[in-house]
Structure formats: structure tokens, C-alpha cells
Chains A and B, each alone.
Chain A
């Protein structure tokens, strides 16, 4: 169908694949938290049932069961009861369908811990912080790491001998260790930067110069801690990729032909970039995971922090809402990288023309 437009065909194929992945992710998100027998209503009831008599506690429980779609409801909105007078539980299957249709409408259910609040509301305030922290760190970290790696491979010598062990160490330090170290040394001991939080206590989250100034001051440490680790990991990958490219026939041939050095470097860089870009797609999940933990270390008001408080409070709807959103973001980022690969990879660009 897209014989003359291999790129469009490629992208449609990828989009279809990501849609399937998305469906699997949604399914996992629904079923995994429900493997255990923990139930959101029990968690709420242990908090609110103090001092209630049996009848009103039952009424309250039924109201919550209805709110979380855990019981069958008849046409008039009344909770159905079985022969013994117990509320009839909905089956897991119909809960799943309900969950799907609600998620598609952008409703991720109610939070238990922050009860009347909706999960989507909490996520909406947390998401911009996470995006603002992770997008630039990963993009710039990837670019700079690749440049450093290519340079190290090309120059070798002292530059390589200094850069390589440092990059190895940086990539081996777990994100949370590095974060804690920065908090302790730069934040608490030296007091150069605020150690925890996203902005000054007195301010509210709004679009203003004062808020922006405060937020960027708090941004430095979490940024550094994720950035340096990404740079280290990417530099190592690019370095070995470039060493491999340097040994290939086309580089040797170009050298024999007397092609200028910077041109060879450019060819080499371009060829090594592609696997690195694919590598980025594969590493994104790990990077985002590491950055989430970093958010917690810095009590950064993003999704990582939301997940942490949700776990501490057994807030299942909030946990699975956050994880679903993180997964969707990672899928989107991956799709972006795939599109980029499709644009850059000459094999995909010319795939349809070889038959002519």
C-alpha cells in the first residue's frame, strides 16, 4: 500500500505496534494491583469507621463500594444485594471494562489517600514537574554523552583514559545514591542549593517570575543527578560503537583515499548515531525509572513523589494511575525515537525503491 512511501508505512506499522503495547500496559496496570486481596474500600473504611455504629458503617461502605465500581448497581442506581443481604460484587471482567472506558475518558478513578480528589487531578499537577525534569536531562544527557564518547573513541590517549573511567563510574552509581550524595554534600553540608522540594515554601505554583526563579534554583540538584548518569552511560556506549566503526572497511578505505579527517569523523558519527538512537529507545524505561527514584530523594513534586506517597498510603488507584501515565509517556517517547530513526535510517528511506 505504501510501496512508494516506505517511511509512512514504517511509521504506521510502529504506531500499530505501540497501540498493542499500550493495551498490554493498561491490562497489566489493571490486573497486577488486584492480584492481592487488598481492596481500596477496606483501606478507606479502616480510616473512617471509627466511632460509627454498624448500620451507618455499612451504608458508608456501600457508598464507597459504589464509588469504586466494586458492586452491581440496578437501573435506579441502588446497590444490588444477594440472598444473604450482602452487596453483590462486580466481576473482575466487568470492572476491567469499566476501568477501560473510564481511562479512555481520562478518568483514572478516585484517590484513597486524598479521598475526594480524583487521581487525574493529582497527576495533572505532578506531571509537568516530571516532564520538566526528565525531558531535558535525557535529551541533553544523550547528546553530550554521545559527543564525549565519539571524541574519546577518536582521540584515545589521555582524553580517553580520563573520560572512560569517570564515565564508567558515573554510569555505575545508582541514581538514588548519587541523588543522596548531592543532597547531603551540596544541599545540606555546603548549602549551595536547596536540598529538597520543588520551590520555596511561601510560593504557590503559578506562572510568575518569582516562582520561576525559585523553581530553577531547586531544579539544579535533581537535574545534575540524573544528567551526569545519563551522560556517563551514553558516553560508554558511543565510545565502543565508534571504536567499532573506526575498524570498518569504509573508514580504512576513506583514509586510504585521503578523505579529510573531519569528513571521516562525520561519517563515523552518523553511522554510530543510529544504533545509539535505537539504544536510547531501549534504555528510556530504565532512565525514567531511575529519575523517578531521584524525584523521591529530592522530594520533587512530580510523579515519583506521588507514587511514593501512594505506596506509603496503600493508595492503589493512585499507584496504578501514576504507573499507567509513566508507561504512556515512555511509549510516546519511544515512538518519537522510532519516528526519528525512520527519518534517519537510509535502509528504511530506500526500502521501497530497491524493487524497481
Chain B
């Protein structure tokens, strides 16, 4: 409770949380606001915003507002799924290596560092380019999760290895707890706040990765995402035609989501780590 009170007293947390909740709300109730589907043409190409179409139309004459709501939903979905996968994989590897130490830890650390150095975008490009058919939104999210887990593994490992020599862990070991019992019952609870922070950053990374892939034309074939909207706008000359409504809303949304996640993360850090609070 103290923690929550501290959190809501921090202006950056309140700002970040309200921005994030706003985008969530837009994604949830958005379909009610837009009465046309994102697959039907409602007018000419690049019609400027009007009372009927708040954000104008895109190069195909599709209502921008409905595209945006759908894109937002897909991007949040990718962020959530990719973030969960990356956090899960990274946490398991980090906890296990950090607690075990020795050779297993060394091997896991070398592996993690290896994939940390090789740019994840490169692995993403190679993987997505090889899956020519069936690049669905879910598959892309899973691929992103499987390539961006590295730094969460590194971060969690450092924390877990600092806990492994604590008295309560030694006590659990003497009492006959197995490795998994100790890791999940005696180490992970101490790191939950940390893992949550990792998840928030991984979510932001997932959303950014999907958008980057879509900008390269390697995005999902089955849904509209914010990155897809930007890519379509760029390839269909929205910039040179001055059709700002075709790309600025998507840009603002991506930035707002990532920005809100970042400041939620830093404010959590401030509350969990009193040293930074002063």
C-alpha cells in the first residue's frame, strides 16, 4: 500500500499511466467510435479530415480513424505478447543461470551476450524474410519475443546472482528445497518488481520492433498495425502529397505508447530504488 501511495505521488508515474490508459481505452472503445470497417473504401484517396471522417482517408480511400484504431489494437497486442514471451524466456534463463552459477551460468551468459551483440533487428529481418507466407501478427509477435529476450536475461541474471548467497536462500537449501523450489519460492519473489519493470520495457521494445519490421515491408499480412500504416503512407507518397493525416496520428500513437511505458518504468525505478528518489 505504501508503494502504491508513493507511486501515485510521483507525477511522472501518473502522467505515464494516464497516457497508457488513454491509449488502451482508445483501443477498446475505438471500434464504437468508428462506424466503418477498415477494409471498405469510403471515398477518394487522401481526403483531408472532415466531420464524416475525422482523420481523412488513406491512399485507398479507407477511413483513417478505423485504420488507426485497428492498428493500435494490433500494436498493443504485439507489444503484450512479445513482451510476455521475452520476459518469460529472459527471466527463466536469468534466474536459473544467476542462481546456479558455475559452468551452466557461464554457458548461459556467453549465449546471452552473443545474441545481445548480434543486432536483434538483423535476426528479425532474416527470420521474417524466410517466412514468406503466413507472416501473421501472432507469429511476428512470437518471433520478436524470441529475439529480444537477451537483455532481460542479462538484467535478471545480475539480480538473481546477487541474491544467491543470501542467508534465506542458504537456509532453503539446507531444508532440502530443489533448484526450482529455491528459484521460484525464494529468489523470484524478491525480483517481482524488477521483472515487472523488465516486462514494461520489453513491451515497448516489442511494439518498436514490429513497427520497424513493418517499415521494411516485413510486417504482418493479416492485420493493420501502426507500423503498416506508416509504411503504406511512406510508399504511397503521403509525405510528398502533404497528406499529413495519413501518418502523423500513427506516429503520435507509437510515440505516446513508448513514451508512457518508458516513464512508467523510470518512475517505478524511482519508487523501488530509494537511492534515486531524492
Contact = CB atoms under 8 A, between A and B. Distances in A.
Contact of B217 (A168, A297, A312): A312
B131 A285 contact: no
Contact of B215 (A243, A296, A316, A330): A296
Contacts of A177: 230, 251, 254-255
Interface in B110-159: 110, 114, 116-123, 125-127, 129-132, 151
A297 to B, nearest CB: 7
Contact of A311 (B125, B230, B278): B125
A244 interface: yes
Given A32-B127, A36-B131, A168 B266 contact: yes
Given A180-B247, A285-B117, A327 B258 contact: no
Contact of B255 (A172, A189, A236): A172
Given A32-B130, A177-B230, A171 B262 contact: yes
B251 A181 contact: yes
B276 interface: yes
Nearest to B154: A282
Prevailing SS type, chain B contact patch = helix
Contacts of B132: 36, 38, 314
Interface string B209-221: 0011001111000
Given A35-B131, A297-B234, A292 B121 contact: yes
Interface string A167-181: 011011110110011
Contact of B126 (A33, A284, A288, A293): A33
Prevailing SS type, chain A contact patch = helix
B125 A174 contact: no
B176 interface: no
A184 B123 CA distance: 30
A290 B117 CA distance: 15
30 contacts: A21-B114, A25-B118, A28-B118, A35-B130, A38-B130, A169-B259, A173-B255, A174-B212, A176-B212, A176-B230, A177-B255, A180-B230, A188-B239, A195-B239, A243-B276, A243-B278, A244-B275, A285-B119, A285-B120, A285-B121, A285-B122, A292-B121, A293-B212, A293-B215, A293-B216, A296-B216, A311-B125, A311-B218, A323-B126, A326-B119
Interface of B: 110, 114, 116-123, 125-127, 129-132, 151, 204, 208, 211-212, 215-218, 230, 234, 239-240, 242, 244, 247, 251, 254-255, 258-259, 262-263, 266, 269, 275-276, 278
A307 interface: yes
Nearest to A282: B116
Contacts of B110: 17, 20
A128 interface: no
A210 interface: no
A65 interface: no
Nearest to A38: B132
Given A32-B130, A297-B234, A330-B117, A244 B276 contact: yes
A163 interface: no
Given A172-B258, A176-B211, A308 B117 contact: no
Nearest to A172: B259
A311 B216 contact: yes
A11 B217 CA distance: 40
A188 B240 contact: yes
A286 interface: yes
Nearest to B128: A311
A225 interface: no
Contacts of B118: 21, 24-25, 28, 285, 327, 330-331
Contacts of B151: 282
A51 interface: no
Contact of B117 (A29, A173, A334): A334
Contacts of A286: 119-121
A29 B215 CA distance: 21
A266 B190 CA distance: 36
Contacts of B122: 285, 289, 323, 326-327
A148 interface: no
A34 B129 CA distance: 10
Nearest to B123: A28
Given A285-B118, A307-B216, 17 more contacts: A32-B123, A34-B130, A168-B262, A168-B266, A169-B255, A174-B208, A180-B230, A180-B234, A184-B244, A247-B275, A282-B151, A285-B116, A286-B119, A293-B212, A323-B125, A323-B126, A330-B119
